[in-house]
Structure 1
Amino acid sequence: MKGKTTRKTHQGFVDQNPIEVIKGIGSGIADSALNNLGRQGINQLWEQMLGADTSKDETSGDLKEGEEIILKSKKETPFKESGLNYRREIIDAERVSTRENQRVIQSKIQEILVELKKLSQTSAEIAMEFKEITVEQRIEKPGEYHISFFQWMLSLVKAARVKIEDSGAWLKVMRSKKAQRNYWAMFRKHGTTFGLSNERVVATQTG
């Protein structure tokens, strides 16, 4: 009896199918993994096997017991507009505005220089005094300061021209009075002889 029982037990162990044993072990491991990780863990495992990116920061979700949130590790993703670069557009707009402003200033400066040149040509004295500023020159980076400076120089040239014109008129008057005095002095000295001579004609025309 005893020997027969031992033989049956040994026979049952030998006759068990190895494939069924492996299936049973695999089924037990799968059930254990499902219970421990849950469906979320299985999904993450599946995504890792497929090469999906699971490194994104999570900013929402349920906080489980015993878990902590480290705020320093959360980084805000900068907002990006696809296909647009506002910074480059702003810089380009500033450059265009600067070039346009310099062009306008350069044009005003050239107008002032042309007027200065014309005024200088009206008088040899002005031309000698202001010859340096009438030379045409190109300013690399014109600014409002250059406009103010050349406008100031233009006012000086205009004032100098007025003084010279006034001086010329004064000299002309003085010459006229001197000629008249000389005429009457010569007339008193020489009488009608001087009055009918060529010098008289010249003196009266000058006066």
Structure 2
Amino acid sequence: DPRVQVMDAAWFEGQQVLDIGCNAGYVTVEIARRYTPRRIVGVDIDEVLVAQAWRHLRHRWSLQRPASDEHAGATIARSWPCFPLAMPALFGALPWPAPSTTTTSDEAARFPMNIDFWAGDWLGMPPEPHTYDTILALSITKWIHLHKGDDGMRHFFYRVHACLRAGGRFILEPQPWRSYTRKSKLTPAMRQTYASITFKPDAFEAFLLDKVGFDRVEERAVP
């Protein structure tokens, strides 16, 4: 995903991370694998997508190169291709790493044990104040806005801020206002909410800085 390419490893390495609206988990899994957060949780309101995320995680785990440096013959193991791309489709995913009573905190933070997925409406889940170092919200603001209106959008931003630890980072990818029009026609309720919106995406930055409590904004262009 090109969005992951423009993110800094320091935002995630050894951190507690939350990915709100994780969809089928592609970004969540890539961050867990590439940037080694201590723990990353992906949450999505759609149970079908969360099930897909778990399948994708098992598939991606099956393609990992083995930790051959811990065993004899490491040089030989590194010289051969690992699990071929077709193997999970033909024979299923590799067995999940078995939990151990002697597992250290560092081992628990290694991929794929450092990732979890939850199904549900994050705004309706019990609050987790000052829990996360980094929170992602990629391409979900339009859906929150069309379902919950201006008040719901503001509540979302306040809740994100409350769940971040001091010095935490909020990675936001808002959808432009022009993209709301077609999706607002999906249901009568969404059409009604769309007609009532005055808190448009170009006002998000000022609101996050002046009202919510974030101290600065940095923009990254995605190729």
Q: Which has the higher helix share?
A: 1
Q: Which has the higher strand share?
A: 2
**Which has the greater radius of gyration?**
1
Point out which structure has higher relative CO (alpha carbons under 8 A, 6+ apart): 2
TM norm structure 1? 0.17
